[in-house]
Amino acid sequence: MSRKSAASALRDAAPVFAALGDPMRLSLVTRLTETGPMSITRLSDGASVTRQAVTKHLHVLAGAGIARSRRRGRESVWEIDATPLRAARRSLKAISRDWEAALDRLKAFVEEG
Amino acid sequence: MSRKSAASALRDAAPVFAALGDPMRLSLVTRLTETGPMSITRLSDGASVTRQAVTKHLHVLAGAGIARSRRRGRESVWEIDATPLRAARRSLKAISRDWEAALDRLKAFVEEG
DNA sequence: CTATTGTGCAACCAACGGGTTGCGACCACC
DNA sequence: GGTGGTCGCAACCCGTTGGTTGCACAATAG
């Protein structure tokens, strides 16, 4: 199944939005996107919280499919998977489109009065 | 100030993502976008939770700038403001773009080895 | 082999979030 | 003016979450 209904796509988007909703996670995502794959301690160096907190956030991102890790030696390198982000972006686009359509219908209804 | 830095735009996007992160709120947004402005009780009729819960969710959406209410008689009518959604969509686009760029840099680095 | 570095796991804590109930106020309609 | 519908506010409950600390364990460095 390569195509989904708009409703199910939106249901899938909710966890992605929830994952991006935390400022710390959002900053992790931006650092990973701008600088590329990084280890946990490297990511925690700049952060204001513990390494463990960063680890938890990374797992939340992984749960939403936004990030994944791969073990290299003794460190685990994390990188971004942009696929769910693109899907979320499509959902936002669909919402905006529907809203414009609803506005048009409303306008027509008022004018025909 | 019509233009913002990418960083500050992303900071502003976090509350929007957080607001969209809840399935119930996301369904409220879709119902409002598809059907147009609606009162609270009308919105709660389809929902599986109390009117108060719906009210709370609506206020969360309002806090993120996604929804706003206007009093008409004894009922308060809620509608969507798509502006923050478009901003959030631009943020996602920027993230995807940066990630592609990082991938390109990484590829070049590996190949030049 | 030993020391150090990078992680993972578990327990624990405070705060927040989503939900409910109860009640009082307001507006409309007859 | 009473009655029913619509809402807001406040209190309360409890599960989740973001964060910390402590410790054990694997992998590199010396």
A37 φ, ψ (degrees, to nearest 5): -55, 145
The CA distance from B55 to the nearest CA of chain A, in Å, is 20
Per DSSP, A4 falls in state -
Per DSSP, A74 falls in state T
Question: Mean pLDDT score of chain A, rounded to an integer?
Answer: 91
C-beta of residue A88 within 8 angstroms of C-beta of residue A16 = yes
Mutate to test the interface with A, among B30, B77, B90, B107 (most CBs of A within 10 A): B30
Averaged pLDDT, A42-66: 97
Look at residue B46 in the predicted model and tell me its pLDDT.
86
At residue A111 the predicted structure's pLDDT band, cuts being 50, 70 and 90, is low
Q: Which A residues between 4 and 33 have a beta carbon under 7 A from any strand D atom? A: 22, 24
Given a cut of 70, the residues of chain B with pLDDT beneath it are 1-7, 111-113
**Nearest nucleotide to A49 by CA–C1' distance?**
D19
B80 φ, ψ (degrees, to nearest 5): -95, 145
Averaged pLDDT, A53-68: 98
Is A96 buried (19+), middle (13-18) or exposed (0-12) by CB count in 10 A? Answer: middle
B52-70: pLDDT as tens digits: 999 999 999 999 999 999 9
A18-45: pLDDT as tens digits: 999 999 999 999 999 999 999 999 999 9
Token pair 């004018």 in the structure block, residue: A111
**Cβ–Cβ below 8 Å for A17 and B34:** no
A–B CB contacts, 8 A cutoff, strictly below: 108
H-helix or E-strand spanning residue A75: strand A75-80
A63 φ, ψ (degrees, to nearest 5): -60, -30
Look at residue B4 in the predicted model and tell me its pLDDT.
64
Choice between A106 and B2, residue whose per-residue pLDDT is larger: A106
**Cβ–Cβ below 8 Å for B30 and A95:** yes
B14 φ, ψ (degrees, to nearest 5): -55, -50
A7 in contact with B, Cβ within 8 Å: yes
CA B39 to chain centre: 20
Look at residue A3 in the predicted model and tell me its pLDDT.
64
Query: For residue B75, what are the contacts with CB-CB under 8 A and spacing of at least 6?
Result: B39, B40, B41
For residue B100, give the chain A residue with the closest CA: A33
A85 in contact with B, Cβ within 8 Å: yes
The CA distance from A5 to the nearest CA of chain B, in Å, is 13
